[in-house]
A and B are shown apart, each in its own frame.
Chain A
Amino acid sequence: EPEVTQTPSHQVTQMGQEVILRCVPISNHLYFYWYRQILGQKVEFLVSFYNNEISEKSEIFDDQFSVERPDGSNFTLKIRSTKLEDSAMYFCASSAEAGLMETQYFGPGTRLLVL
């Protein structure tokens, strides 16, 4: 069964450093998403991406964040200058263009720890 994959599974970084989280969406999917979950809190939407453009973004997704689809398979989330409060699980998701509603399929997540 096709699945979304994410690398790395864990990332430890120093405050102020840049990190890039990588995702390989399901191969025939066209819509891509990033969510995050701070420990013990809700899953929060960050950004959605379609046709090489951001479709929606939340207030969390400020200028420190960027997304890119550098090739035909990867989808990345970059945090330019990490802060302590960026420590969280980051989930990538993808969905196909399928009628009115596209089911989002999530990856296993990257646990980011900012020290």
Chain B
Amino acid sequence: DAKTTQPPSMDCAEGRAANLPCNHSTISGNEYVYWYRQIHSQGPQYIIHGLKNNETNEMASLIITEDRKSSTLILPHATLRDTAVYYCIVARPGSARQLTFGSGTQLTVLP
């Protein structure tokens, strides 16, 4: 599975959009980009995933560049409860694939 690079930490003002970048320059054609987050040692929480098109759900939007070498997770109106470690994970499809977690980005939403 491709390796990902994320900034170790970011701050965001409450109510503003949080844009979390991820580089995955070695991604291959059949690998998906997944985003999870972990709030203070709780279980990782699935946010969103995509292959090459931009995706949006009730939690976030995922923007994947045309060459698929990077992506951005957007939380449109960050709240204090969005303070967490955000993980960008690239994984091949298939049954029971393991997720490889990196160090992620610690997002702190400031009041």
Residues of chain A touching chain B, judged by Cβ–Cβ distance below 8 Å, are 4, 31, 33, 35, 37, 42-45, 48-50, 55-56, 58, 89, 91, 93, 95, 97, 100-109
Contacts and interface: CB of A to CB of B under 8 A. Distances in A.
Contacts of B46: 103-106
Contacts of B93: 100-101
A97 B43 CA distance: 21
Contacts of B97: 48, 56, 102
Contacts of A106: 43-46
B68 interface: no
Interface in B15-58: 32, 34, 38, 41-46, 49
The interface residues of chain A, by DSSP majority, are classed as strand
B2 to A, nearest CB: 15
Contacts of A55: 95-96
Given A50-B95, A50-B96, A56-B96, A101 B32 contact: yes
Interface string B96-109: 11111111000000
Contacts of A105: 46
Nearest to A49: B96
Contact of B44 (A43, A101, A102): A43
